[in-house]
Chain A
Amino acid sequence: MIAAADHDVILKLEDVSKVYSGTVAVKRANFEVRKGAVNVLVGENGAGKSTLMKIIAGVEQPTLGRILLEGEEVSFSSSGDAVKRGIGMVFQELNLFGNLTVAENIFATREITNRFRKIDSRKQERRAAEFLERLEAGIRPDMLVEDLRIGQQQLVEIAKAVSLDARILIMDEPTSALSAAEVEILFKVIADLKARGVAIVYISHRLGELIRIGDYITVLRDGRITGQEKMKNVDTQWIVRQMIGSDAKDFAKADGHVPGDEIFRAEDICLPRVTGGLAVDHVSLSLRAGEILGIYGLMGAGRSELFDCIMGRHGHATGTIFIAGKKVKERDTTRRIRRGLALIPEDRQREGLVSILSVATNLTLASLSRFVRLFHIRSAKENQAVAQMVRELAIKVADPAQEVSSLSGGNQQKVVIGKALLTGPKVLLMDEPSRGIDVGAKADVFRTMRKLSRDGLGILFATSDLDEVMALSDRIAVMSNGKLTGMFDRAEATEAALVAASALGHGPVPHTENTAHD
């Protein structure tokens, strides 16, 4: 093992800036990537990490500044250029073709051909199998990517990047969809690459992970680099301070208000799964006004599906729901929203926002009837409501007429929340409300949740983050394999009990294969 100080700089960014419509993503960044080491990059969402990496990987071109590869100035006009120079990247968004096999994906654009320019599928699959073997994922190279679950797709993406034999390998949140066991395997692969002298750039929000595997750390805030250190010299407090400019904001504290009467009850909710069995299996729960009920569970435990059933998104779901004691007979989303239900979906891009429309249009999309006289939208009233929401939720936007896609992730999430709040809900369903947003925006979201519960809203929120569910909930429900497997008061809940309950749904026979899946 070489001493940390001896790691050579292989790639250097000098005074690099990148400007997008709506935001200056990176401002005069100086960044060094060292050989045979894990170079960690950390920062809030919208701090510019992904942009910086896309510049290195040739996906984006810097507006200003120079890139030096082994001391020589280079400019990549496409990711193909960067790959030729030995730079590979695992993207945050999966860049896979669902309709092609795993092997075809791994060798996309670099197909192995025989003498007659015909693709040699067998050889491709054999080579792909070697890479997949190292990731111990149990993925066959001839499987279609769309048949894999999201964590496995992530592993394919990683295998693809590893197969490039890159000198510099960028990993943008590679663990966001992986199970704990898969993360361990990934770390083994990273250690192996490191030993072979590969420079790894590693981006993640999970601070624990970073401290464990990083050798060097660079912190970005608002597009500027605010700190560069050897990992062994820093601790979590230091990282958070660099990231948000002050010490860690804790989860918003409970204010001790007493929840009111029952505002929402679900009885016997069932949702059949396409492949047989039940995605939501006879779930009943009750929620009081001003209460935050956390629903903890692993990925695929049926939390999102439960929310979908409550919102009336599945015609074939069974069970009844009550709002303030009255049975909800309406079966469609539109009328359930009118009855006082609102959902903040897990996937902002696909389900939360209409990205080509403006911030204002998105905010009022679900509540237009509030601003309408007869059939005419009264702009003055609408603008007033938009301005109020922007202020209340501290959405950072210069002009609400701006396209919502020009905002950072955290601000987009606030727009989704604002849209739900404008409908005047009694019960708010929040599916992973803090997913993919930075520490600062998370704190804002949690504060908003506290405030809403104080105002008497019932909040159901689903999460797979133990700290979050422990810190925010008044009560905690645990789901596993579609079933409700535990219900704890905050006082009596322990992490161990929650984790135990989250595995109960799979019955007495342990399915090692299925625990993470379903």
Chain B
Amino acid sequence: MTDIPAKASVASASSGSVLLTLMKARTFIALIAVLIFFSIAAPNFLSAANLILMSKHVALNAFLAMGMTFVIITGGIDLSVGSIVGLCGMVAGYLVLNGIDLQVGYTIYFNVFEIALITLAVGILIGAVNGLLITRLNVAPFIATLGVLYVARGLALLSSDGRTFPNLVGKPDLGTTGFGFLGAGRLLGLPVSIWILVVVALGAAYLAKYTPLGRHIFAVGGNERAARISGVRVNMVKMFVYMFSGFCAAIVGLIISSELMASHPATGESFELNAIAAAVLGGTSMSGGRGTIGGTIVGAFVIGILSDGLVMMGVSSFWQMVIKGLVIIVAVVVDQAQRRLQSRVTLMQMAKAG
């Protein structure tokens, strides 16, 4: 490092990599940007109450987006999550209100914990149906989950004939009280749903990075044939990602009905699109093989804060849609630019080194 040209080349290469680092952290920067923008533009934006409220909104999308991330990494897509949210909400609501009639004069009522487990099982089961359609019957993921989207939504509407299950307070003598805890309860000052998000997100991130299943998810998305020959159980991996996606959707269904203390069969319509948007914004590649849980969570926060902030500023919901769409497009454009720049920086460094 004695001669001047060498120093100059190092400097220029590192300026390239500064830009590169900025682009890599783009979702994070976008997050900080929207935070700063709204804290100036919208009064009360930075108040603790508002931040907690927003993160509760974000959490819902973040759950779905995490499930979606794994699915997209394997090269698939799950359009049915919004309907699973709706159906699982109805399942929970029905169980709180009606229990299960055994047709012999007895009706079983479950406590809230059991109801939550049953609802999660329903979500996982619908995910398994998606997975079976895709792995056993070779239906394209887009079509399989589109079909399930309609079926699940239809079942949700049928379950109550389109009506809402109101007032899910439960009866103390049946042991069905306390359903509101998930949506409205707090632990150490934070909403329960945030805690659940933290646990699920840490679990998912760990799974992606440190377990064979996580590796296999990336391998299947990168090259399914090679993964199969390497002994990866491709069908099992795919089953898992759709079941995990269903699981995440069931959590959201539970939280929403618990928050509202009511189950509405139309809950969750078009949630799948927000989930896909968050995953893509977080750097998940639609062609499979690339993506991170952390990126997806940040992506969900950007989208959530953007829409809540715009609401607080009084921007019309029509404009909100336009803005959200633009943000997603810009994110993908920057993603492409980053890939190109990244390769160019490496090339320059290599050309100079050798």
Q: Which residue of A lies closest to B353 (CB)?
A: A24
Q: Is the CB of B223 within 8 A of A337?
A: no
**B228 partner, pick from A19, A23, A333, A379, beta carbons under 8 A:** A333
Q: Which residues of A contact B223 (CB under 8 A)?
A: 350, 353-355
Q: Does B18 make an interface contact (CB < 8 A)?
A: no
Size of B's binding interface in residues, CB under 8 A: 27
Q: Is the CB of A350 within 8 A of B226?
A: yes
Q: Which residues of A contact B210 (CB under 8 A)?
A: 376-377, 379
Q: Is the CB of A311 within 8 A of B289?
A: no
User: Which of chain B's residues 80-138 have a Cβ closer than 8 Å to chain A?
Assistant: none
Q: Is the CB of A354 within 8 A of B229?
A: no
Q: Which residues of A contact B350 (CB under 8 A)?
A: 19, 21-24
Tally the A-B contacts, defined by beta carbons under 8 Å.
88
Q: Does B222 make an interface contact (CB < 8 A)?
A: yes
Bound together, the chains give a CA A380 to CA B335 distance in angstroms of 32
Q: Is the CB of A368 within 8 A of B215?
A: yes
**B230 partner, pick from A63, A350, A365, A372, beta carbons under 8 A:** A365
Q: Does B231 make an interface contact (CB < 8 A)?
A: yes
User: Which of chain B's residues 321-354 have a Cβ closer than 8 Å to chain A?
Assistant: 343, 346-347, 350-351, 354
Given A361-B215, A376-B210: A63 and B351 interface contact (C-beta under 8 Å) = yes
Bound together, the chains give a CA A345 to CA B223 distance in angstroms of 14
CB distance from A430 to the nearest CB of B (A): 13
Chain B, residues 183-213, CB within 8 Å of chain A (1/0): the string is 0000000000000000000000000001111
Bound together, the chains give a CA A278 to CA B211 distance in angstroms of 41
Size of A's binding interface in residues, CB under 8 A: 38
Bound together, the chains give a CA A337 to CA B218 distance in angstroms of 20
Q: Which residue of B lies closest to A420 (CB)?
A: B230
Q: Is the CB of B227 within 8 A of A365?
A: yes
Q: Does B232 make an interface contact (CB < 8 A)?
A: yes
Q: Which residues of B contact A377 (CB under 8 A)?
A: 210-212, 215
Q: Is the CB of B351 within 8 A of A313?
A: no
Q: Does A352 make an interface contact (CB < 8 A)?
A: yes
Q: Does A116 make an interface contact (CB < 8 A)?
A: no
Q: Which residues of A contact B233 (CB under 8 A)?
A: 332, 334
Q: Does A343 make an interface contact (CB < 8 A)?
A: yes
Bound together, the chains give a CA A140 to CA B209 distance in angstroms of 52
Q: Is the CB of A351 within 8 A of B343?
A: no
7 inter-chain pairs at a CB distance below 8 angstroms, sorted by A residue, are A22-B346, A337-B230, A350-B225, A351-B226, A354-B227, A356-B290, A357-B219
Q: Which residues of A are in contact with B by a Cβ distance under 8 Å?
A: 17, 19-24, 63-64, 311, 313, 332-334, 337-338, 343, 345, 350-357, 361, 365-366, 368-369, 372, 375-377, 379, 419, 423
* Contacts A350-B223, A361-B219 supplied; 17 other A-B pairs, CB < 8 Å: A19-B350, A23-B350, A313-B229, A338-B231, A345-B229, A351-B226, A354-B218, A354-B222, A355-B223, A356-B289, A361-B215, A368-B212, A368-B216, A375-B211, A375-B213, A377-B215, A419-B230
